Structure 1
């Protein structure tokens, strides 16, 4: 990106911006030229850009992958990625850096990248798609910033993580879980019930605030999620898809939730000025229904931890993850013949195809039942 500035008659200053260095400082190159007018100065600017482009390509021949990774992180990743995504990228970048750090950036080939990803897969390493996405982003910006001419990722096929078989509870198992959670504190019971009945994610449960509950119609507006990352700390932000959805709950569950909410209000009043509360990323002060004693959000992994302890205390129950309670809800209502579009909205999927792909094991059974209707026609 360049600009032309007139200094005096027949004198112009050319400025080219070349992104940022590894310390986040903007890199600018300058040149003073003689020109009869602005049009000639702009032509000289284009020539200057080409000159610097060739110079950068020459640097690309020598720059190591690890050095360029730091440039990419400072100039692209930190300013433009969500803290939660940045945290994931930071973790999955470790094996990438271990393998490619000392390679010359311009010398890395598509075959070398494919071999790296294939070896990761053969050695049982996970997050293959995320590693691919990190590499794709790095080399895309290497081309954009003129460090390399060709993108080696163009010939690399995106790997697929092995699809794990989904675990979930059936109707009887859900009934048993709801019976066993009665031994927990009310607030812990509610976290489980909101996931089982409403299909809410961990962060969505922890983000429920008083402005999200519609008591009159037994509904909760799901539009925020609690996220935690090393880079960004705790954040109360818009949900994963960026959209809001309304989830209707049984009256009995909303009555339990209201009792808990009244306890939260009583506790807030009792603390007085010691109550801190929290602001969402839009700057709105909120009172969360599930927070620490001062109104600060809980980390999503706090739910994973208490669910793990619950699983250990109840060895008779099938061991599943907390997020599989969401799948249990979906599988149950699908098996009851609820329309896929209704389930899509309840889960917060942007597309019905996502819902169909995730719950194909259920829809296949429904397809078999549909076929059975015609068995008696022969």
Structure 2
């Protein structure tokens, strides 16, 4: 595939985050190793489809800069950066680094273009709100990265903490154990090597706000990363994930939804999702996991997709009570 140079350069100043040392990022003129042109479906929404791959606007491994989505990863051939951008009706994928070819081969899956909506319209028609959301957000597609451990790293650090705590821990871990990503975007990092995480004592994670329980879970998961990456489908991956101490159905669902693009993955055990589903589908202010699964049962095969649509539509349940406090383990 022919190389393509990116004309010009653009500088983006990233706002500072509490507890983090942020720097400006810059897109230089360094051209990609190779490019691929994809044809997305009509009404395809790039931002909405890829939003789940980044942990907020300042994810160290994935982010939007001037309309281009940058995603850094490790591949069997080495580190790679994939850049996805619209060009008229097309979607252009540019690859950088030793793993560029691997990343470009999966570019359509990462963009959600392999997402299969077979039979979803029929199921969605059974509920007026879901039917409306399915038509309104027709351009949303579920990405499938084909990689388990990078999403597992983030999911473990998100367990039972606030979003701010999780982000601080994730960003600090990536910057401590990862490496600058190939390509023209400064400030982008490749995820850590699992072997490095597995060999790191749990107390090293304390300054990042990670207590011993999550740190040990992360180390155990990293030791099993090779086996996890060889899983053929979401069912096998879920079984192997939940066999690791400290990983339950919530973490497994968060991982297989992204790694495999599983449209049926439901995050059982989530603090907010049961309430969102109960409120949106039944008008009930609060719901538990059992009620959530009962309401989602008519959409089996696409239950996770329904949750994604409800979130995209902003159908969150009313909130009561104080927010969860932010804790610090830095001095433990």
Instruction: Please say which structure displays the higher CA radius of gyration.
Output: 1
TM-score range, shorter chain: under 0.3
Higher helix share: 1
Q: Which has the higher contact order (CA 8 A, sep 6+)?
A: 2
